[in-house]
A and B are shown apart, each in its own frame.
Chain A
């Protein structure tokens, strides 16, 4: 009975092998309905009965000793019946495991990449180079239909099949709105057969298309462009199509109801994409990058599903003590944490799929997924993330992702449960057609046999990798030979002691033994057999140890990050010299009580019992410093410096809560900063006002309820005077032109507002909405400016439009028109002493602040510089030297006065009851050059403490050392490493 079965199986194997040969030689067996056929039709049902397997219908339903019946590329049934249906080909799975093939959601498989077209223009280019009635911006390409370019790419398909994928959603990665994606199987066949849905999805990304067109130049510009695109598309469908033809906007109609896939580059971008989705009631399925654990709670709150890669970084090569310094603690920590990412996301109940995208070496895919499991991801979640979850997101849950009746016959056969270490994918069947990934018989390696060569006994050891066999007789005679396998034939060539070669030909039987015949040196035919010794215990595979990361989680995930935000406590600072910035002046030996984040009392305080006491003896307490002009904490561009107006862009969209300069500036006593758009265009972008809450996520940095501001700019930067020859074509190139740009935009805004007021249908325009807010006194201008003519111009222009400029920033010639500024009611926020770096600052003087102040202009000093912001107190002190301000007046230039300019003086800027607990305790006179901030509170929370900082610095050094040791051990253990490298911090000024 057994022999019969073995024989049957033997013949079946042979048949299968023959079948594969047919398939792999590229004969397309499945003709298309509409195609003419050369010769007789050759339709095949591919009717199989795969029996005796462990069938994983889905992660929650597993049947053992079951059979899978497939026909015409689909699953007929999963059954425990053992009778073979008539006409079915039988395959014995021999207890192997069957899983649904994986579904890849993030790939560009089979689609040609976009390329730059034509020569690079010598001048800045504003318009689209694409011919036809399409979008004005080449990065908005909803009309792109990936199926029109898709074709089967066997090399890429084979690589994906090998790691378990059967179906992929593929798209072209080009632009912000990228068009539609194709759902296809990876079967080696014509796209006619493999495409399951030619327009399955819509794809988006924070990524500029391959184009020379200048806008957008920044991520915030991309966000504004996308938001406006949604509005335009809506308008086009309602009314616009009657006025104009726009094939891009028209195309969106077919895309908007498809699943929306959004690719980002880090965890903060996940949050950014999610904000856009929420604004327009979309769901984005966001392709992340593997660092989402660093902001998991915030990402969970968005509710957006994620597609997550398993691209764990290699250890850095830090053996060289000098070069190793290049690598940052954040990078080293990420190396340790990355495999835990999926487990963290699962803990936070974030829905996710797993992708092989972004993985340099795709062969590592399963190993990396298993590593995630070792780090705490449960196996079921992993399997869902590879099968049912992506199927569901694609709306394909009725035919993909499980092994059920009517589903596509896309499945894997593995020798062990797939997440076991060392488990192999043996076959990957797609649409009922098998692809052999790895022959199950090829595991001859490391096996030992009792070998009989014509009655002589040996112990044989096969080394499969080297294709060698060693025979050792009981008397220690050693023979060596080579091994060759083809199909199921095994041949050995063994050299005898006499120098003859024995040529052995055998077949492996089901129990692993090898039997056959050989010819000896004289050509005689003899028999041999190799009986497999006790199989090396299969439980020698490494135990699935759970792995733990050692580095503590911090927010942000960088040096100086903290495990959690500081607590809001009741604090009393005792016996300090308090600079109140009120008519109470500077008060010595005074206590300040902070409760619930607010200043509760200034004077003699009887502290509540739960209060923390801080001795302020010989120390000075001032309000937190407010930087009216800052460019820290911004990601991916501070300027959307392409078109003359970028009023729709918002700095608040691209806050970088990880910028180390937040922490460094806290240490300089700064508690609030206005983050401004750069000065590359007359109408810049919308500002963001933040408190320096180091550790908080981007949205929580924002100063709650603050008035909205916008950056304008005049002079050399907007004229592109110092930008080189490429930038000489944008209007304006003169100060004359600047006025007219503003005039034109405000005129149009008025007309726009008029349309709105009169109820005439209109296209909602984010730029016009912003300008209208200015005209309505709901948004306020901070204008970069230098020379008196332009300052005067803007004040007149504003008056013509019946509003007031809120603040001139830089304003280095403010002293020349201080009286006019006072009359207009505009504030001046300037530098202490900068000049001579460009022509328009040739008349700048360090007495500027003092003159403006003395004339009665509300005056502040700002930084525009991440370094200088750390010492704004001593910048303020310069006004004592240059222009003779009093000490109190000087300090107000960087505290109360900017608070007034920003309309937040009801909250911050002075130390009085009811104001926010944003205070700084200095070790010396706060204007003196030797003063340094010892404790900095925001909202009554101790955000910076110099003593703790010193400990932190030690801890960073220790942590670095530990990780460096760990990385060197990994390298010495033979693992591949990567060269030391680092992404330097982004640092911006106005004209960057």
Chain B
């Protein structure tokens, strides 16, 4: 009897409830109001030389005992000759890397995934090419400093859900606001390829989907319509969605096609060729099965987290760990990624894991830096430690790919030395001091 009574709730009560809920959340989340972040660093004011470290260029090369000079945010010199500068930092015995880039993330779009009010990554509806991640990016997220302190300095902020989720943006992780953060307003469009399988939950059966072909056709139709729309300048009735999609495609930004299954990926490639669209396969868990095709057709891959279980009982138990080396061997342009927001700080360790399964360590670095930059279209400015590029640099005491030794000592974004402290370190100090166990 009770539940029947409870079901009759007027819309007014619901909206009141939501308001109260928001108020409660507003008061509960200290990150939103109670104290601000430490301020972002000011522009580089003096030239700096890093002297004597092991320089991992990001393009697969390495310079032992090298020197790196940067000024006004740009790298001036990388090599084995000593360089004079206003400030010399002795980094001998340490490792120098390009700032790591986290592609395909929720950073700044979600604070606490279980709390609805903090989720800003998914719009309603199936086709949202007009939705832009950048303007929702929260530079004051408490999560961001914890990523910086593990060497992640750039990120692709990506909307989720539906068939077309929207446009992703590239940001640097030490900013006052999203304008300030933007490295590139639009990285591309995110398209979730239709599922090849359907799950019959009643009988617990995974089956091939009868709707798959139909779903692929409707995506094709949508793109054709949008591209046709874009060819004409004056429209009596403006369609913001079509306009946005056609603009992104005409600007030669890629479509990031989220697909993992072999069939889906092959169909997506075929589709992109039919429409003449540049794509990046994102997820691509089965990419090892079609590595040759990917290399030959020059389809780049943003590989889903390799810290996952194989998709099938019969698959090699360590397949996800082996995939990076297999893609590399086939000559695919690929990079690492890691799902979610807070756990992006573990992104580099996938590189280490892949090294244990046959990937060259410098190639692992490349797949966290320069390859990522190339796939995202910012490799002219970021991704490697080369003269003329942004001085976005990480210094680690040991191998950045191994949690045992990764100890980030300093980091620079566009030459600005960024604060590596974070909320968690503060809490550590607060309580370790209380107990007298601070190290």
Residues of chain A having any CB pair with chain B under 8 Å: 121-123, 125, 322-323, 325-326, 328-330, 558-560, 660-661, 663-664, 667, 716, 721-722, 729, 815-816, 818-819, 833-839, 842-843, 845-847, 851, 854-855, 866-868, 871, 874, 877-878, 880-884, 887, 924-925, 927-932, 949, 953, 956, 960, 979-985, 987
Residue of B nearest to A832 (CB): B403
Also in contact, A816 and B143, with CB within 8 A (given A866-B309, A980-B208): no
B113 touches A838 (CB 8 A): yes
Smallest Cβ-Cβ distance to A816: which chain B residue:
B431
Set of chain B residues within 8 Å of A721, measured between Cβ atoms: 114
In the complex, the chain A residue whose C-beta lies closest to that of B31 is: A842
Inter-chain contact A956/B342, CB cutoff 8 Å:
no
Q: Top 10 closest A-B pairs, CB basis? A: A929-B352, A930-B356, A838-B114, A854-B437, A847-B428, A877-B404, A836-B342, A845-B424, A322-B263, A929-B402
Contact indicator B432/A847 (Cβ below 8 Å): yes
What is the distance, in angstroms, from A675's C-beta to the closest C-beta of chain B?
A: 17
Contact (Cβ within 8 A) A716 B356: no
Contact with A928, one of B313, B345, B402 (Cβ below 8 angstroms):
B402
B206: A residues at CB distance < 8 A: 326, 981-984
Chain A residues with CB under 8 A of B403: 874, 877-878, 880-881, 929
From residue B318, how far is it (CB to closest CB) to chain A in Å? 7
A928 to B317, Cβ gap below 8 A? no
**Bound CA span A851–B424, Å:** 13
Stretch of B1-9, B87-95, B130-138 contacting A (4+ beta carbons < 8 Å): B1-9
Pick from B31, B143, B355, B431: contact of A929, CB under 8 Å? B355
* A122 adjacent to B6 (CB under 8 Å): yes
8 contacts between A and B (CB under 8 A): A122-B3, A123-B3, A558-B313, A664-B310, A836-B341, A929-B352, A930-B355, A930-B356
CA distance A868 to B305 in the complex (A): 12
Q: How far is the CA of A667 from the CA of B308 in the complex (A)?
A: 14
Please pick, from A664, A931, A956, A981, the residue contacting B356 in the complex, using a CB distance under 8 A: A931
Tell me, in angstroms, the Cα distance from A183 to B405 when the chains sit together. 73
A982 lies within 8 A of B205 (CB): yes
A contact residues around B207 at 8 Å (CB): 326, 979-981
Q: A837-B114, A929-B352 are in contact. Are A326 and B208 (CB under 8 A)?
A: yes
Per the bound structure, the CA–CA distance linking A675 and B196 in Å amounts to: 33
B349 at the interface (CB under 8 A from A): yes
B6 touches A123 (CB 8 A): yes
Minimum C-beta distance from B52 to chain A (A): 23
Among B2, B353, B428, the most chain A Cβ lie within 10 Å of the Cβ of B428
Which residues from A are CB-within-8-Å of B402? 877, 928-930
Q: With the chains together, A887 CA to B405 CA distance in Å?
A: 11
Inter-chain contacts of B404 with A (CB < 8 A): 874, 877, 880-881, 887, 925, 927-929
Q: CA of A729 to CA of B314 in the docked complex: distance in angstroms?
A: 43
**CB distance B313 to A123 under 8 Å?**
no
- Known A-B contacts A845-B428, A930-B355, A982-B206; the reply to A122 vs B114 at CB < 8 A is no
Which of A716, A818, A884 is the one whose CB lies under 8 Å from B431? A818
Smallest Cβ-Cβ distance to A819: which chain B residue:
B435
Distance from B117 Cβ to chain A, minimum over Cβ atoms (Å)? 10
Decide if B414 is an interface residue (CB 8 Å cutoff): no
Given A328-B314, A329-B313, A983-B206, are A838 and B115 neighbors across the interface (CB < 8 Å)?
yes
| Closest Cβ neighbor of B426 among chain A residues | A845
Q: Across the interface, which residues of A come within 8 angstroms of B437, CB to CB? A: 851, 854-855
Instruction: Please measure, in the bound complex, the distance between the C-alpha atom of A661 and the C-alpha atom of B309, giving whole angstroms.
Output: 9
A985 interface neighbour in B313, B345, B355, B407, Cβ under 8 Å? B313
- Once the chains bind, are A836 and B6 in contact (CB under 8 Å)? no
In the complex, are the beta carbons of A984 and B401 less than 8 A apart?
A: no
Contact of B428 among A323, A558, A855, A883 (CB under 8 A): A883
In the complex, the answer to whether A836 meets B143 with C-beta atoms within 8 Å is yes
Q: Is B112 an interface residue (CB 8 A)?
A: yes
Contact A983 B205 (CB under 8 A): yes
Cβ B263 vs Cβ A839 within 8 A: no
Query: Which of A322, A323, A929, A979 has its CB near the most chain B CB atoms (within 10 A)?
Result: A929
In angstroms, Cα B197 to Cα A663, docked, is 26
Contact A833 B317 (CB under 8 A): no
What string of 1s and 0s marks CB contacts (under 8 Å) between B166-209 and chain A?
00000000000000000000000000000011010000111110
- Name which of B115, B346, B356 has the most chain A CB atoms within 10 A of its CB: B356
Distance of A323 from chain B, by nearest CB (Å) = 5
Q: Which residues of A contact B424 (CB under 8 A)?
A: 835, 845-847
A186 to B367, CA, bound (A): 71
Given A123-B2, A982-B206, A983-B204, decide whether A867 and B308 contact each other with a Cβ distance below 8 A: yes
Q: How many Å lie between the Cα of A478 and that of B379 in the bound state?
A: 85
Interface status of B272 (Cβ within 8 A of chain A): no
Chain B residues near A716: list those with CB within 8 A: 114
Residues in A whose Cβ lies below 8 Å from that of B405: 881
| Chain A residues touching B, majority SS | loop
Q: Is B406 in contact with A881, judged by CB distance below 8 angstroms? A: yes
Measured CB to CB, the closest approach of chain B to A857, in angstroms, equals 11
Contact B439 A883 (CB under 8 A): yes
Complex: A326 Cα to B312 Cα, angstroms: 8
Whether A871 and B346, one on each chain, are in contact in the complex, defined by CB atoms closer than 8 angstroms, is no
| CB-based nearest A residue for B434 | A819
Q: Which residues of B contact A818 (CB under 8 A)?
A: 431, 435
CA A837 – CA B355 in complex, angstroms? Answer: 29
Alpha-carbon gap, A928 to B402, bound state (A): 7
Task: Indicate with 1 or 0, residue by residue over B298-321, a CB within 8 angstroms of chain A CB atoms.
Answer: 000000000111101110111000
Q: Assuming A122-B3, A880-B404, is B309 touching A664 (CB within 8 A)?
A: yes
Residue A839 contacts which of B115, B316, B341 (CB distance < 8 angstroms)? B115
**Alpha-carbon distance between A664 and B321 when the two chains are bound, in angstroms:** 13
Are the CB atoms of A851 and B353 closer together than 8 Å? no
Nearest CB of chain B from residue A717's CB, rounded to whole Å: 10
B36 interfacial contact with A, CB 8 Å? no
Q: Which residues of B contact A837 (CB under 8 A)?
A: 112-114, 342
| Docked pose: A447 CA to B378 CA in angstroms | 82
Q: Is the CB of A949 within 8 A of B2?
A: no
Interface check B262, CB cutoff 8 A: yes
**Contacting A842 at CB < 8 Å: which of B112, B307, B317, B435?**
B112
B427 CB within 8 Å of chain A: yes
Per-position 1/0 for B411-428, Cβ under 8 A of A? 000000000000011011
Contact A984 B204 (CB under 8 A): yes
Q: Given A816-B431, A845-B427, answer yes or no on A960-B28 (Cβ-Cβ < 8 Å).
A: no
Across the interface, do A929 and B307 meet the contact criterion of CB distance under 8 Å?
no
Confirm or deny: B111 has a beta carbon within 8 angstroms of a beta carbon on chain A: yes
User: A residues within 8 A CB of B262?
Assistant: 322, 325
- Considering the chains assembled together, what is the distance between the CA atoms of A846 and B401 in angstroms? 18
What are the residues of chain B within 8 A of A121 when measuring CB–CB? 3-4
CA distance A142 to B10 in the complex (A): 43
**The one of B352, B357, B427 that contacts A843, using a Cβ cutoff of 8 Å:** B427
A322's nearest neighbour on chain B, judged by CB, is B263
CB contacts (< 8 Å) of B6 on chain A: these are 122-123
Chain A nearest CB from B215 CB (Å) reads: 16
A867-B309 contact given A851-B432, A953-B316, A983-B204, CB 8 Å threshold:
yes
Interface residues of B in 353-368 (CB under 8 A from A): 353, 355-357
A982–B314 Cα distance when bound, in Å, is 12
Are A835 and B114 interface neighbours, CB within 8 A? no
**CB–CB A835/B342 < 8 A:** yes
With A874-B349, A877-B402, A929-B353 already in contact, the answer to whether A868 and B208 are too (CB < 8 A) is no
Q: Which residues of A contact B114 (CB under 8 A)?
A: 716, 721-722, 837-839
List B contacts of A932 (CB < 8 A): 318, 356-357
Considering the complex, give the chain B residue whose CB is closest to the CB of A658: B313
A663 touching B317, Cβ below 8 Å: yes
B residues within 8 A CB of A877? 402-404
Most buried by B among A729, A883, A928, A931: A928
